[in-house]
Chain A
Amino acid sequence: MTAKNAIEARNVVKAFGQGDTAVRALDDVSVEIRQGEFFTLLGPSGCGKTTLLRLIAGFEMPTDGLILLDGQDITYLPPNKRPVNTVFQSYALFPHLTVAQNISFGLEMMGKPRAEIAARTEKMLALVKLEAMAGRKTSQLSGGQQQRVALARALAPQPKVLLLDEPLSALDLKLRQAMQIELKRLQQETGITFVFVTHDQEEALTMSDRIGVMSNGKLQQVGTAKEIYTTPKNRFVASFIGETNFLAAKADGTKARLASGDVVDLAVPVSGDVTLTVRPEQVRLASANEPGALPATITNLVYFGTDTHVHLALSDGTEVTARVQSPATGDAGLEKGAKAAIRFAPGAVQVVGD
């Protein structure tokens, strides 16, 4: 038997409103989230990622479709009957309880014996390094500490799946980066399946085992960070994750002719009118007489510290951005208006759907 699915969504539809004004927040979404993986739902706000999370948590019921947990149908099970816990975006810590009481809340509700609750709460406090804060009210904690209480509270009942709804969005950059590492560590130490929702592609790329990219209520692509970055399935995925260039072309086998007349090599043979994508860091500046080099003109230079973005125009005016390492001294011949040539790294040109 292959790795079991912790969560499976089958043809899930969630419509809000009725009749003509109904909005499909989720439009026939199917996804399998494996046991013990760090799975991220990534997409812009309003893409349906939080709705999917709320359906898994049981806060909402789908209009159609099924939600399975460990192969069991939990579609219509109320949230308090699901072995699934949530870390809320606003943390939603109980203001009238102490840190320790917040953490033990779930265990108490499950009716665990007193001794077990105490031991488990201790363990969770240690896991998130908040032993010294056990007796504090949550309002006395910093944002980062509140975040850790929310995590400990959700992990304490040892759920089969932990849902995280943009939990890092309220933290400043430094703290967010520290918490990313912390989250990854907690996930590996506990072995619990994490389903993480974010609109931040960098967060998704650095933490996830696999990512599901969503837009307009549909799951666009599921894969590892590398798969999604290097072989995006469509225009949306290519442009939402990282920066990229789009080029219209007519393909015939492994050759494609751009609008400028230049011919580029494709990794996978295809034919007809296609959209090509190539990441800026895969665009190299070349010398004009190099084989396969495309003549271009530098239209702008944007300095980013270690990198410089070189904006170029091909002979027909098609814009291409190259990301090159900033030269240590001087401008290494990079100059606005100067003639240049570019070359795409082997295998870097991908065909994307619309």
Chain B
Amino acid sequence: MAERRFSATRLPGFATIAMLAFLALYIPILTLVVYSFNSEVTMGNWGDLTLAWYGKAWANADVKDATLRSLTIAGLAAVISTTLATMAALGTTRRRAFKGQTFIYVMINQPLMVPEIVTAVALMILFGLIKTVTGVHGLGYLVLAHSAFCIPFAYLPIRARLEGMDLTLETAAADLYASAWATFRRVTLPILMPGVIAGAMLAFVVSLDDVVITEFVKSAGQDTLPTYMLGQMRRQLTPEINAISTGLLLVTVAMLTAFFLLTRKND
């Protein structure tokens, strides 16, 4: 009889541990979503089922303003970081293994390794200096900061896609009279596209969610949705926050689902 291979699913207590882990992951979110429909202001009481908080959040000019800013920054940061990440991925995979390759990977993925709070303080100081010297203010600083820390999130799926690509395809394109540019445009990029879109979505979601760096870099009146929510917490906590969170959750889940569909192997 064939020997059974080791499988974690057969260990005693596997199902229990898995269940507990899932509960730990989803109960808080579920609570948040449920309470966003609670008509009572305090968490302790449950009143009626209501959509009033969604209405209130929707009508709130500050929320609208912060949402718009969040989407603008995330959109720009996604485009910029994905473009740079695509170039970086092409640069690091389209060649033979070289000395210091790991070092380059580490350099590219710096934002994943340096504590975010350190980057935040560093950017605050540097941007503060630049603002004082040049007198230039604006959203540009936030866009730049977001683009930078989004690069590794865009880079990783693109690189994975590139590494899975058969290089013979590029050779075949060259054999069929395609110039280097035409090969990139007509063969490499289309095949890479799912990775690029996945990378852009991941970057978008990561930017949308950022608090730490944004909080430190933003000037007055540059609240994004997360920093606005943080600010609200200091005053009075209402289920409006729950409603906004649920909305943010919906957008993120939708994008991540699309991300996983795009990075499935069988396309």
User: Which segment, of A20-28, A90-98, A215-223, A235-243, faces chain B?
Assistant: A90-98
| A80-136 at interface with B (beta carbon < 8 Å) | 80-81, 84-86, 88, 90, 92, 94-96, 105-106, 109-110
B175 touches A57 (CB 8 A): yes
User: Which segment, of B17-25, B98-106, B165-173, B218-226, faces chain A?
Assistant: B165-173
| A212 part of interface (Cβ distance < 8 Å) | no
| A59 part of interface (Cβ distance < 8 Å) | yes
Knowing A80-B178, A85-B176, A106-B177 are in contact, say whether A94-B187 is a contact too (CB < 8 A): yes
Minimum Cβ distance to chain B for residue A156 (Å):
9
| A157 part of interface (Cβ distance < 8 Å) | yes
| A78 part of interface (Cβ distance < 8 Å) | yes
| A65 part of interface (Cβ distance < 8 Å) | no
B177 touches A109 (CB 8 A): yes
Contact pick for B172, options A84, A94, A96, A110, CB 8 Å:
A94
Q: How many residues of A are counted as interface, with CB atoms below 8 angstroms from the partner's CB atoms?
A: 23
Minimum Cβ distance to chain B for residue A329 (Å):
46
Minimum Cβ distance to chain A for residue B162 (Å):
14
Residue of A nearest to B194 (CB): A96
B169 touches A79 (CB 8 A): no
| A153 part of interface (Cβ distance < 8 Å) | yes
Residue of A nearest to B169 (CB): A92
Residue of A nearest to B189 (CB): A96
B171 touches A59 (CB 8 A): yes
What chain A residues lie within 8 Å of B166 (beta carbons)?
90, 92
| B179 part of interface (Cβ distance < 8 Å) | yes
What chain B residues lie within 8 Å of A153 (beta carbons)?
176
B168 touches A90 (CB 8 A): yes
Residue of A nearest to B171 (CB): A59
| B190 part of interface (Cβ distance < 8 Å) | yes
What chain B residues lie within 8 Å of A109 (beta carbons)?
173, 176-179, 182, 186
What chain A residues lie within 8 Å of B172 (beta carbons)?
86, 88, 92, 94
Considering the chains assembled together, what is the distance between the CA atoms of A338 and B194 in angstroms? 72
Minimum Cβ distance to chain B for residue A143 (Å):
16
| B191 part of interface (Cβ distance < 8 Å) | yes
Q: List 30 A-B contacts (CB under 8 A).
A: A57-B175, A58-B174, A79-B175, A80-B177, A80-B178, A80-B179, A81-B177, A84-B175, A86-B172, A86-B175, A88-B168, A88-B171, A88-B172, A92-B168, A92-B171, A92-B172, A94-B172, A95-B169, A96-B187, A96-B191, A105-B173, A105-B176, A105-B186, A106-B177, A109-B178, A109-B186, A110-B177, A153-B176, A154-B176, A157-B176
Which residues of A are interface residues toward B (Cβ below 8 A)?
Answer: 57-59, 78-81, 84-86, 88, 90, 92, 94-96, 105-106, 109-110, 153-154, 157
